[in-house]
Amino acid sequence: MNARILFVCLGNICRSPMAEAVMRHQVEQAQLSDRIEVDSAGTGDWHLGHPPHEGTRKLLDQHQISHQGMKARLVTSNDFSAFDYIVCMDTNNLRDVRKLLSDTDGNREHARLFTFMELLPDKGMADVPDPYYDGNFSFVYELVESGCKELLKRVRSDMNLN
């Protein structure tokens, strides 16, 4: 059994590509790249085809995490059947993804759909803040790194890889 994870944010240039890169890095370190695939997408189309935001790239570079070849794309109805986990970076993204799902054939849903901060209940936050607006990429990176560790534990458990 393999697992596919999709991270979703608004424009797919800050939070979700950061989570994609960090999760991919953690999966590689766990030597599970042949079993776990990671991607990201956005609910808005403003940045389609663009690389991650400079602030995201800078932090990933500082942590020696690759963002090579990443380009913003839209979440699609096909993602519901293609991915096992769809992790939304905030509650607005979750609402938008659920709306897209309700506009498609509901029989195709099999992804586990939840918000990223559900992985970090002790933080008492519903949403990963959007650094596009506040510039706090370092804080977002800390959340993403911790949340991805928790998600990897969950996926490993679901796949009986503990």
CATH code of residue 69:
3.40.50.2300
Tell me the average pLDDT across 106-134: 87
DSSP-derived 3-state class of residue 84: coil
Q: Is the pLDDT of residue 12 over 90?
A: yes
**What is residue 157's predicted lDDT score, i.e. its pLDDT?**
93
79 is catalytic: no
DSSP-derived 3-state class of residue 76: coil
Catalytic residue among 9, 14, 88, 148: 9
From CA 75, how far away is CA 86, in angstroms rounded?
10
From CA 80, how far away is CA 17, in angstroms rounded?
18
Q: Give the domain extent around 108.
A: 3-158
Question: How many domains are there within the chain?
Answer: 1
Catalytic residue among 39, 88, 130, 148: 130
From CA 14, how far away is CA 22, in angstroms rounded?
12
Burial class (CB in 10 A: 0-12, 13-18, 19+), 134: exposed
DSSP-derived 3-state class of residue 153: helix
**What is residue 64's predicted lDDT score, i.e. its pLDDT?**
97
pTM equals: 0.95
Tell me the average pLDDT across 16-44: 97
9 is catalytic: yes
Q: Is the pLDDT of residue 48 over 70?
A: yes
Tell me the average pLDDT across 16-42: 97
Tell me the average pLDDT across 60-89: 95
